[in-house]
Structure 1
């Protein structure tokens, strides 16, 4: 939700809440990192937060570059975004034997594609396509959350079967 709100704030003329929405979106990344600390520890939670914040910062730069029409910069930043997704997948699969690196990459790459579709539709003012992108994005992020949550519960059955 906050990702899509950020895209709206960043691409709609006259929207003044872009910085506040970005701050809230970055807080989500802290919340996710904090959520894994009870099972993976402080260091792992902080590392995940760092990787996820990098994901958001790169996305914000992509939004700005796309809005200004700088295709070369968008392409460069997309490479960084996918590299970051690879790092997130490697981190999560390294922490949990029930999460396979390639499966996570596929999930993360689809997430990037859906966020890109949201941005592209917004910039084109194709509101029907944007609605489809957002709906698919919500469904997909729930799938990602369920996949990761199920693996965490499987790995730490003793902490969740009380």
Structure 2
């Protein structure tokens, strides 16, 4: 009876110890020391900066769609701010890939925005021929961006880049289509999904840079 009592007491103690174990300890239990990702200040800053840039990208894209479809007076100023964001993204990768590569990325992203404007204008006008033309070029530009990025970093596969960029184009299309139909709930839903998607994309880029240049993030 005494042995049974001791065994029960031991089991209860083990359960209680696991219950009060910190969440991080549960996540790393059974793993070799050092296998958990160490989030250094440098890594955190890159992730935060990259997320800010790409959330700005979808945010100012949305502002432009609203201005363009409604014909608001701020359309040009919003477009200028959106185009600045593309240069900001290019500038953000210059410390890792150099000025020429950063400027090339900014150039490809500016083309992405200009083609998006063509898609929105054609959809607003109901010009199906122009819509098809700009849409085809828009996806071709996404292919160019995916190819450029995958060549710069072996951790960014061309297919994954292309899939993420295509999804972004679809969320932008969904927003524009919903606004043209005055379906405000669908417009808001498409933006929310697109923002979440873009934060995942920003993290994909940050993780790839950290893996490629580990010495910069110790």
User: Which TM bucket (shorter chain)?
Assistant: over 0.9
The whole-number CA distance in structure 1 between the counterparts of 2:206 and 2:83 is: 21
- 1:56-103 CA deviation, whole Å, 9 max, x = no partner? 000011111111110111111111000000000000000000000001
- SS of equivalent residue, structure 1 residue 122: helix
1:8-157 map, 5 Å: 8-13=66-71, 15-157=72-214
CA distance in 2, matches of 1:64, 1:99: 33
**In 1: Cα distance, 2:118 partner to 2:195 partner:** 22
In the aligned structure 1, how far is the partner of 2:75 from the partner of 2:214?
41
TM-score (norm 2): 0.73
- Higher-RCO chain (CA-CA 8 Å, sequence separation at least 6): 2
1:12, CA displacement in angstroms? 1.3
Residue 34 of structure 2 corresponds to none
CA RMSD of aligned residues (A): 0.6
Shift of 1:159: 1.0
SS at match of 1:54: helix
Runs ≥4 residues deviating over 6 A: none
**Hey, what's the Cα distance between the residues in 2 that align with 1:96 and 1:145?**
14
